[in-house]
Structures are given as C-alpha cells and as structure tokens.
Chain A
Amino acid sequence: MKDLKIFSVSEYVERLNALLYEHDAVVEGEVSEYRVNQQKWIFFKIKDEGAVLECFSTVFRIRAPLEDGMRVRVYGRPGIYAKSGRLSMNVEWAEPAGEGALKRAFELLKAELEKEGLFAQGRKRPLPSIPRTIGLIASKESAAYGDFLKVLGQRFGGLTIYVMHVQVQGAEAVSNIADAFAYFNAHHKELGLDCIALIRGGGSLEDLAAFNSREVAYAVFGSVVPVVVGVGHEQDVSIADFVADLRASTPSNAAELMVPHRADIARFVDAMANTMTYQMDTLQSDARTRIDDAVGALDGVVTARSHEIGRMQERIFLRLNFFHERTIMQRSKIDGLVRLMRSFSPHAVLERGYAIVKKGGEVVSSIRNLKPKDLVYVELKDGGFSANVLNQESRIRNEE
C-alpha cells in the first residue's frame, strides 16, 4: 500500500478522465430524465434493465429529437465531472434506434419543423414549366438514378443535368446531401439551374434517416433553387418531402413533375401555330371585307348623288323652259311697248310733217332763244339742213 502513489482528488479525477477518454463507444439504451438547460445543454440518462448511464451533450451536437422512453444509440466518450464526481457520457451524436423510436423521432421532428414554418405552403415556389437545366442529387448506383434519367429522357430532350453523386444512406449521407445543396446553391447562376431534384429509392425508416434529418430539411428549406424531392415508393414519406417545393411520390414521378412531355408540348406548339394561322386568315379576310364594304358604301354614295344630280338637272331644265317661255311672252309684250313708245317718239311727229330746230345741238322750243343771224339746224323726217335766222316773230303773229 505504501508503494502506491498518492494523488490529490483533482489529479486522480484527471487521470481517470484521461483513461476514460479512450473508451469511446456506441451505447444503446432507453432515454430517461431528458432535459435541456438554457436552451443549450442537454442532460439525460440511458438505461436498460440493469444499469443507468448519465449523458451530457449540447443542442448543437444532438439534432435528432429525443424524449423519455425513446430507444437511442449514443456515441461519445465517458468522463467524470470534477465538481460532482459523477460519471457521464459526453455524447457526440445520438440517434433513435429501432422502428418505433425512429417513427417517434420522425413525428417529433416533423411537428417541430412544421412549427418553425418549414412546410408552409406559402413558401413553396412554382417550378419553371419548361426547365433547361436540372441539378440532380442522387446516388449514381441507385435504381432511382436510372429511373429518373430514363423518364426524363422519354419526356424531353435538350436538357442539361448536373449530377452530384452522394451517399443516400449511412454515416456520410446527411453531410453529402447538405454539401450537394450547398454546391448547387453556390453555383446555381453559372450552371443556370432551374430546379434541383433530390431522389432515392424506397426503404425503411432507418434507410431514409438522412431524408428525415434536420440538416437535410434545412438544406432543402434554404435552397435558392426550387427543389423537388422524390423518395422511394408511393407510400414512403420523408421530412424532406414536406419541405420540398414539390413532393414527388417516386423518383420517376419527380422526372414527370419536372419536365413536360415533348408530345404534349409539340401539340401545344402546333395548336398555337394553327391559332395564329386561323387568326391571321381572319385578319386578312376582315380587312378584305372592310375594303369591299368601303367600296360598296362609296358606290352607294356616288349612285345616290348622281340620282340627285339628275333630279336637279330636270328641275333646272323645267325652270329654264319656264323662263324661256316667259321671256318669249315678255319679248312680245316689250315689242308692243316699243311700238307704243315709238309712236310717241319725235321722229313719228316728223313723219307727220313737223320739223325740229336745233341750235348748237340743243332743241329750240321758243322763239325767244333765237336771234337774227343764228345758225340753226332743221331736222325733217328724212334729213335736215342748216339755216340762218333772218328775223323773229312772236307766236301771236305766227298764229295769224
């Protein structure tokens, strides 16, 4: 006994801890007394029929939802907490073990993420109706990969598909998938990605663990590019499905949802070309009809006007005739008048043997306007002569 080294408590606990550190292990048991302190520290125990092991971890390391009674596998290293002297497992990761626990963990995580809004319908983005470039996250060895590409090829051509080969199962799966999303999102512009497909074949809850993990859920949720998730058989549902912008029931269905069928599109193209041709014909015949109508209308106007002009002409002729007759009538009336007027003319008097005496071009009507030696002009019915006045006599004498 005396030979043994004497430690201080601190030294001894430290030494034990150094030894214990080497004994990392995966331990399976049932969770009890699970609690989280300050939203950071996780304390719980795992137990079986014969023993209890205290566990310690942080919320950053344990992403799977745990609860009392759940069967889990934890991985970590044991150590003694110096202040209390209690041994506990410092847990690095923990996962539900067995279908029941997995199912329960699935439900818990689903409820939690739903509450966080990861499944909200409002955030789901529409896929481009006709993509050019697709990012594919899948295992190249899987049947899912072959099915997806086959269906894609049957439906549409000329697509570019960028493939990120990942483990879809096992320890690497979660980080592989998360990295693939990170890569596609970092390069989506240069690749021109229209959408991303995350696919795998069906399997048990354990097989699908990666697709039911918080990390993959966040990777899908955080993707800038719209995501289609197609897992397994029709009845397989994963957390990633709920987060996806579009959930496909199988990998083949994912391909169906992502690209239209070329025959359908060809039919649409033909239909559109037909519509355009038909409408163009209509446009042309409409224009022709409009021109014909315009010509017809013009014709009508011209005919109507020419009728009108004819009627006007007739009226004018009638008027002219009337005037003409009136003119003739008036002409004879005027002739009568002229004759009447003529009878009053001095010339008519001359006819009867009278003479007109003019002096300096003016008619002399009184003897008082004449002096002896005045030169006068005497006009008779058929001529005239000049004469000098010899003397003048008063009218009274003249009448004698």
Chain B
Amino acid sequence: MIALDHLTKRYGRFVALDDVSLELGDSGVTALLGPNGAGKSTLFGIVGRLLGPDAGTVTVDGLDVARAQSAELARTLAVLRQDAHVTARLTVMDLVEFGRFPHSRGRLTEEDRQHIERALGYLELGDLRDRFLDELSGGQRQRAFIAMVLAQDTKYVLLDEPLNNLDLRHMADMMKLIRRLADDLGKAVIVVLHDVNFAARYADRIVALRDGRVVADAGVAEFMTPHVLQSVYGAHVDVREVDGTPVALYYS
C-alpha cells in the first residue's frame, strides 16, 4: 500500500499539494486525473523521491520514502516519468538491463537475465533488442522504457502520462498493456492520464485532483456521473453509455 499522509508541497506561494491524504495501489489500475497544475506530477515526484514534501509523509509498504534506502524502495516501486529520455546512446537491451540495477547493482545474474528476457518478450521487443533508442519510433521507445520498469520487478508501478506523444492506436495499445500488467502480472499500476474516457475504459479506480486537493476518488461507475465530473472540471459534462462503458462528452 502506498499511503500519503497529510502531504503538502508549496512552490513559493503556490500550493501544489494541499494536505493530501490518500491510499493508493491496493490493486488493479488506478488512474490519476486532473487539470494541468492540479498537483499530479508533484505527487508522483514526492512518491518517487525526486521532491521532498514540505509536510506529511509517504510510506510504501511501511517504508518511509524520505528515510528508507533508495535501492530497497526501487525494488518495491518503479516510477516512469513523462517524456523520459536519455542523452547517452543506449540499445533497448542496455536500457532494460538497467531495470535490474536495484537488484544486482549492475552485475547481472542468471535470474536477472531471465527477468530481462521476460520483460523483452512481454513487450515484444525481442527483435529490437540491439537497436539504439534513437532509432526507434515514439511508441517503441515508450515500450522499451516500460520493459525497463517491468524488469525492475516491483509490486507498484507508477506511470506519469504514458500516453504523451502517442498516436491513437498506440494509446489504446498502451492502455491494454497497462491493463495486462495489473491482470496478468498482479501489479498495482498508478497512472496519470489526461483523458477521462481512457480512464473510464481501462482503470478500476479514478482519483481526481484539483488545486492540490483530492476532489473525487471512486470506482469508474461512480466517478462517471455529470455531478462528479462537474466538481472535477468545473463544467457540465454529459455521460453516455457506449457498449457498457461510460463515455464523457466534454466536447460541447
């Protein structure tokens, strides 16, 4: 369980997170929604120990993120930031091997190699393993990073806007993949999304942030009502059901 306890973060006078208490990662896919500047990336930054909070604590399975050994946390929780890119010239294989760093500090064992092969196979990157990252398409590169996270073999996986820079088909593929990470591999995936309809179709639970506060936290059916959406986006949004999935019509 990832437990956020009275978390507050300010940038100067701007309050990015305002006394947020939340439990994440119980199971399945949790989508984190909210307008720009709502505090989603700040929340990920603190959980991923890239930022320190001004107040409050985050614990992952009882480990205090601010105090625990960085390597120990990296074996429990993997974070993929948005627009992750690398200046060094690496192959897909190199990148995926780095996923094992928290376990073996760079000296790969037989077990590490199995994890790497499994991750490559799962993301269908076997044929691309010797290609350099800068020779891949955006979707392929995104998959290579997910493979690294998968090789990390953690219980929790945090993905920050994994749909960025993907075209429609790859967006759907990515969401199906995220679904499979939860269903087949039993991972608790927490994913920041922009489009409420992707969340409604693929997530189990939706948490919405606005102005640094949690304004809604519910299952899909409960979340996808005009009343809740109004409170999140501050505008009236119609909801229709299409083939059993609620769809928000925010275009009007």
Do the two shown chains form a genuine complex with each other?
A: no
Which residues of A are interface residues toward B (Cβ below 8 A)? none
Which residues of B are interface residues toward A (Cβ below 8 A)? none
